[in-house]
């Protein structure tokens, strides 16, 4: 069984930080009966075993922890650097996005790669990060017609959100480029790369470096920088 | 060893599931019908969580190359050993060279096939369950195909027994599925909720282990069908803009952005999973205390049929 703890009704770093703080407090204090948690923008889904806890006791315990989320100190975030090739061959919407934003493609790449992004949560498909931190001047509404197939590794912008498609799937974000980093590798001991709370930066690479990294990824001989 | 001659349309290795990874977008997987799965394992003397097969609509044909015992549970389907009809919900002791065939489900959709010792496939993230969309677990993350060979862990042959008829779950032709309304029930009109609770909904063929897509009376929203994406529970019922419900199941996406009108109780997930495409189901609302009572009653019924408390019933 599961219950959802809602900590707000908007997408903001402040509310999402409280969601991740609640998850951290549950892990740190070991709330009886909780078996699994799923953070998202503004709420935490809490799976529980009803034979180990009762609904009223659990909601009281979670309510108490929710009150501590504004002051809780989270462990330091991981810094992750992901290489990204912004060639229009991968960034299918790069030129159109730049035109719409009235800037050059190079300016758009510099703005995108110059920002640091916060992973709000990982979900929908395995290893897909929903990230905040898109600079105001490069925000665009989502595509009017979503693509039926977006290749894995595609780097996309939609409104204030930035995501990287972890597996091939449909998608409605503006595609700026592609990372060879494996966000999801079912053969790896840890199949998913990113975690909620990670800080992510993109490092522009050319096509030759993309191919070189992709070859090493296929041989399972490459991992991105995580500090 | 087990050699697959005909795999059936979708036969996967499952155990009780892979827990603790939804926060990375990896669903639990595991059997759609936990009770049938556990009983199959118990009938062959296995722990409840031993890896076994889940078959969809039509079971496999296979030969066994070692002495072993099997049990077939779940949907009602013909079983034969060397062409001779055999029982479901019973231990079948086999000899090397025996050919087993499990036919098309007459009632229900999902069959379970357990082997003594359990299937020897490598655990991935602590589980042998197959997650097809993620190509994870089971046999190379995929459904079985012709000429696959499955190894069994060594185990003593169990004593044969047959589940008493009274303990075999009935498969309703139009089951009433118990739900708790919410978390976004207020986003639907009164007429929309009334339609949801009074209508009958047909299982669509594109349904799978990720979600049951249903068609029936339109469920009207009051204001928009999008929410800020949040976590999806086992049994969450999303209603997108077309007003048709989707029940999210064991291979579900971890988060989603459509309004959720209600959640199917974990005790009724199997009953959703046993509805064939083209058949119908109905929904009935219960409150949370009632849902907890139904959950305890379900656990007790599984324990009674299995011959003892279920050690590792998934908490979801």
Within a domain: residue A83?
Answer: yes
A72 located within any domain: no
Q: What pLDDT was estimated at residue A144? A: 78
Element spanning B302, H or E: helix B288-306
- Judge if A40 and A85 occupy the same domain: no
Distance from the A74 Cα atom to the nearest Cα atom in chain B, whole angstroms: 17
- Beta-carbon separation of A125 and B25 below 8 A: yes
Of B143 and A148, the one with more pLDDT? B143
Cα distance between residue B302 and residue A76, in whole Å: 45
Which domain, by its residues, includes A59? 2-67
Question: How many folded domains does chain A comprise?
Answer: 2
Those of residues 174-233 in B touching chain A at CB distance below 8 A are 183, 228-233
Asked whether residue A197 falls in the same domain as residue A91, the answer is yes
| Coil/strand/helix, residue A213 | helix
Beta-carbon pairs below 8 A across chains A and B: 127
B313 pLDDT band (50/70/90 cuts)? Answer: very low
Return the CATH number at A151. Answer: 2.40.100.10
The Cα of B301 is separated from the nearest Cα of chain A by a number of Å equal to 15
Of A23, A38, A55, the CB nearest to B292: A55
The CATH code belonging to domain B176-306 is 2.40.100.10
Q: Is the pTM of this model over 0.90?
A: yes
A-chain residues near B187 (CB < 8 A)? none
Chain A residue at shortest CA distance from B294: A50
User: Domain limits of chain B?
Assistant: 2-167, 176-306
**Cβ–Cβ under 8 Å, residues B229 and B197:** no
Q: Which residue of A has its CA nearest to B135?
A: A186
CB contact under 8 A, A35 and B316: yes
Same domain, A159 and A60: no
pLDDT over 50 at B128, yes or no: yes
In a domain, A204, yes or no: yes
What is the structure's pLDDT at B197? 98
Give residue B311's pLDDT: 61
Nearest Cα to Cα of residue B222 among B208, B198, B201, B243:
B243
pLDDT at residue B312, rounded to an integer: 52
Average pLDDT over residues B231-258: 94
CATH of the domain at A29: 3.30.1360.40
- Cβ distance A167 to B24 less than 8 Å, yes or no, reads no
CA distance A137 to chain B (A): 23
Start-to-end CA distance of chain A, whole Å, equals 36
- Same domain? For A139 and A173 the reply is yes
Angle between helices B34-43 and B288-306 (to 10 degrees): 20
> Helix (H, G, I), strand (E, B), or coil: what is residue B276?
coil
- Whether A156 is in a domain gets the answer yes
Q: How confident is the model at residue A210 (pLDDT cuts 50, 70, 90)?
A: very high
> What percentage of chain A exceeds 90 in pLDDT?
83
Contacts of B236 (CB under 8 A, 6+ apart): B247, B248, B252, B256, B260, B263
Q: What is the pLDDT of residue B315?
A: 43
Interchain pair A192, B295: CB under 8 A: no
Judged by CB atoms closer than 8 Å, whether chains meet at B315 and A1 is answered as yes
User: What share of chain B has pLDDT > 70, as a percent?
Assistant: 98
Q: Which of B229, B237, B238, B257 would you mutate first to test chain A, the one with the most A CBs within 10 A?
A: B229
Min CA distance, B75 vs chain A (Å)?
25
Distance from CA of A104 to the nearest CA of B (A): 32
Q: Give the pairing type, strands A161-164 and A154-158.
A: antiparallel
Cα–Cα distance, B199 to B195 (Å, whole number): 5
Which of the four pLDDT bands, split at 50, 70 and 90, describes residue B257? Answer: confident
Report pLDDT digits (tens) over A28-78: 999 999 999 999 999 999 999 888 888 899 999 999 999 999 998 899 999
> A186–B254: do the CB atoms touch at under 8 Å?
no
Q: Among A40, A67, A94, give the residue marking a domain's end.
A: A67
Residue B217 has pLDDT above 60, yes or no: yes
Q: With CB atoms and an 8 Å threshold, state whether B292 touches A167.
A: no
Burial class (CB in 10 A: 0-12, 13-18, 19+), A130: buried
| pLDDT band per the 50, 70, 90 thresholds, residue B316 | very low
Tell whether A74 is covered by a domain.
no
B72 Cβ contact partners less than 8 Å away, ≥ 6 residues apart: B40, B59, B79, B88, B89, B92, B102, B111, B112, B113
The predicted structure's pLDDT at residue A142: 82
The verdict on A89 and A174 lying in the same domain is yes
B24–A47 CB contact, under 8 Å:
no
Mean pLDDT of B279-287: 98
Among B14, B117, B15, CA closest to B56: B14
Same domain flag for A83 and A63: no
Residues B185-209 have pLDDT tens digits of: 999 999 999 999 999 999 999 999 9
Tell me the H-state helices in chain A.
13-29, 55-67, 94-100, 105-114, 207-218
Q: Can you tell me the ipTM of this complex?
A: 0.90
A85-134 pLDDT tens trace: 999 999 999 999 999 999 999 999 999 999 999 999 999 899 999 999 99
Contact A123 B19 (CB under 8 A): no
Q: Is the pLDDT of residue B251 over 80?
A: yes
């Amino acid at each position: 069984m599961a219950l959802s703890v809602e900590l707000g009704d908007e997408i903001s770093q402040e509310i999402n930080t409280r969601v991740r703080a609640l998850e951290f407090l549950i892990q740190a204090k070991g709330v009886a009966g909780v078996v699994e948690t799923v953070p998202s923008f503004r709420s935490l889904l809490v799976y529980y075993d009803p034979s180990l806890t009762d609904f009223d006791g659990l909601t009281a315990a979670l309510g108490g922890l929710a009150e501590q989320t504004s002051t809780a100190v989270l462990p330091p975030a991981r810094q992750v650097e992901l290489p990204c090739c912004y060639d229009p061959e991968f960034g299918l919407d790069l030129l159109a996005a730049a035109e719409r934003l009235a800037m050059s493609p190079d300016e758009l790449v510099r703005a995108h790669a110059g920002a640091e992004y916060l992973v709000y949560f990982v979900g929908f498909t395995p290893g897909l990060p929903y990230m905040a931190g898109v600079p105001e001047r490069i925000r665009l509404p989502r595509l009017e017609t979503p693509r039926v197939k977006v290749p894995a590794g595609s780097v996309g912008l939609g409104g204030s959100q930035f995501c990287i498609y972890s597996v091939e799937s449909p998608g409605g974000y503006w595609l700026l480029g592609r990372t060879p980093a494996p966000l999801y590798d079912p053969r790896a001991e840890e199949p998913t790369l990113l975690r909620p709370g990670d800080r992510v930066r993109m490092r522009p690479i050319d096509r030759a470096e993309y191919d070189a990294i992709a070859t090493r990824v296929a041989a399972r001989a490459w991992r991105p920088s995580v500090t | 060893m087990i050699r697959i001659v005909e795999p059936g349309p979708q036969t996967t290795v499952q155990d009780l599931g892979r827990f603790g990874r939804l926060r990375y977008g990896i669903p639990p997987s595991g059997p759609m019908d936990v009770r049938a799965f556990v009983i199959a394992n118990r009938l062959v003397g296995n722990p409840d969580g031993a890896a076994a097969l889940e078959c969809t609509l039509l079971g496999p044909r296979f030969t066994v190359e070692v002495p072993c015992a099997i049990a077939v549970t779940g949907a009602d389907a013909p079983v034969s050993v060397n062409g001779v009809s055999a029982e479901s919900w019973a231990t079948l002791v086999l000899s090397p060279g025996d050919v087993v065939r499990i036919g098309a489900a007459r009632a229900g959709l999902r069959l379970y096939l357990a082997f003594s010792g359990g299937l020897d496939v490598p655990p991935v993230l602590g589980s042998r369950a197959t997650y097809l969309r993620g190509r994870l677990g089971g046999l190379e993350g995929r459904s079985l195909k012709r000429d696959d060979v499955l190894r069994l862990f060594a185990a003593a042959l169990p004593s044969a027994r047959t589940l008493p008829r009274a303990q075999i779950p009935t498969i309703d032709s139009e089951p009433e599925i118990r739900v708790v309304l919410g978390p976004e029930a207020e986003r639907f009109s009164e007429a929309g909720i009334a339609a949801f609770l009074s209508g009958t909904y047909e299982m669509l063929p594109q349904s799978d282990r990720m979600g049951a897509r249903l068609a029936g009376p339109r469920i009207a929203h009051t204001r928009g069908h999008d929410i800020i994406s949040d976590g999806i529970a086992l049994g969450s019922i999303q209603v997108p803009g077309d007003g048709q419900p989707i029940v999210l199941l064991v291979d579900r996406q971890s988060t989603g952005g459509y309004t959720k009108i209600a959640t199917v109780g974990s005790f009724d997930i199997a009953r959703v999973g046993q509805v064939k495409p083209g058949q119908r189901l109905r929904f009935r609302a219960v409150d949370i205390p009632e849902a907890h009572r139904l959950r305890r009653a379900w656990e007790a019924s599984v324990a009674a049929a299995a011959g003892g408390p279920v050690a590792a019933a998934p908490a979801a």
